[in-house]
Amino acid sequence: MTARTRADLAGAARIVVKVGSSSISGESSWRIPMIVHALSSAHARGCEIVLVSSGAIATGIPFLDLDARPTDLATQQAAAAVGQNVLVYRYQEALRPFRIVAGQVLLTTGDLENSTSRSNARRAMERLLGLRILPIVNENDTVATQEIRFGDNDRLAALVAQLIQADALVLLSDVDCLYTKPPTDPTAEPIDIIKADADLAGLEFGATVVNSVGTGGAATKASAARLAAASGIGALVTSADLVDRALNGEEIGTWFEPAVTA
């Protein structure tokens, strides 16, 4: 049943959760067990969870003895190949005490644009969920080039939510909710609910105007949440540290009200 309000997340049957690189890589890798604990609690009550996780490149960098994120595509792809392996291992180790098995799913834009591969991806995801496996989805950075990238995993998470007809989408960030201006601005106000028909043109989320082309941060989360909501999937944007409260349906974050679809 589609989550019409935040409270409905506590009883939703299928939820896509997305977490970004900054929340789970480098010095922030300690959050992986915390996030997994929240996901496992939802899994235990019968909810089907799909985790969309960034962080492959960031996780792989230290293993390549690099001092900073590489700028050339080939080295980024190499870092992703190493980092994806380590990242999934860390998730699986955190899931082990809960007797949950992870399944890795790597996608490119072509996989979701081509009808045959899109159907294959949907069938594989449905089977994984039917087997009570927890799919961990990421962009296939090892083969994706700049021209064929999703652009950010927020959009990928929204597209995955549409693909599997999820009841809700939860986008985890480094802030507790979206604000009318950058949170450091003393005049910034938290945004509680965004109606399905709300006009967001010109409204700032973080440092980027929503109707401009964003490359990450709050603006892309707003765009992805709006994409999901427009297709009838309610979306919540909140902090990674509040994931447990989010999945329990508490009144936190910014809720994008789903449109009523036919």
d(CA 212, CA 210): 5
Cα–Cα nearest to 229, from 250, 200, 189: 200
Residue 85, annotated as binding a ligand: no
Residue 173, annotated as binding a ligand: yes
Q: What residue has token string 């989360």?
A: 221
Residue 174, annotated as binding a ligand: yes
Tokens of 28: 């922030």
Helix (H, G, I), strand (E, B) or coil at 242: helix
Q: What are phi and psi of 99, to 5 degrees?
A: 55, 40
Residue 195, annotated as binding a ligand: no
Residues with Cβ within 8 Å of residue 174, at least 6 apart in sequence: 20, 22, 23, 239, 240
Going from the C-alpha of 34 to that of each of 23, 41, 76, 198, 212, the distances in angstroms are: 11, 11, 28, 34, 34
d(CA 95, CA 93): 5
DSSP state for residue 28 in the 8-state scheme:
G
Half-sphere exposure (Cβ direction) of 81: Cα atoms closer than 13 Å: 10
Residues with Cβ within 8 Å of residue 200, at least 6 apart in sequence: 194, 210, 211, 222, 226
Other beta carbons within 10 angstroms of residue 187's beta carbon come to 8
Residues with Cβ within 8 Å of residue 243, at least 6 apart in sequence: 17, 19, 34, 35, 38, 39, 170, 172
Residue 152, annotated as binding a ligand: no
Residue 117, annotated as binding a ligand: no
Binding-site members for ATP are: 18, 173-174
Binding-site members for substrate are: 54, 141, 153
Binding-site members are: 18, 54, 141, 153, 173-174
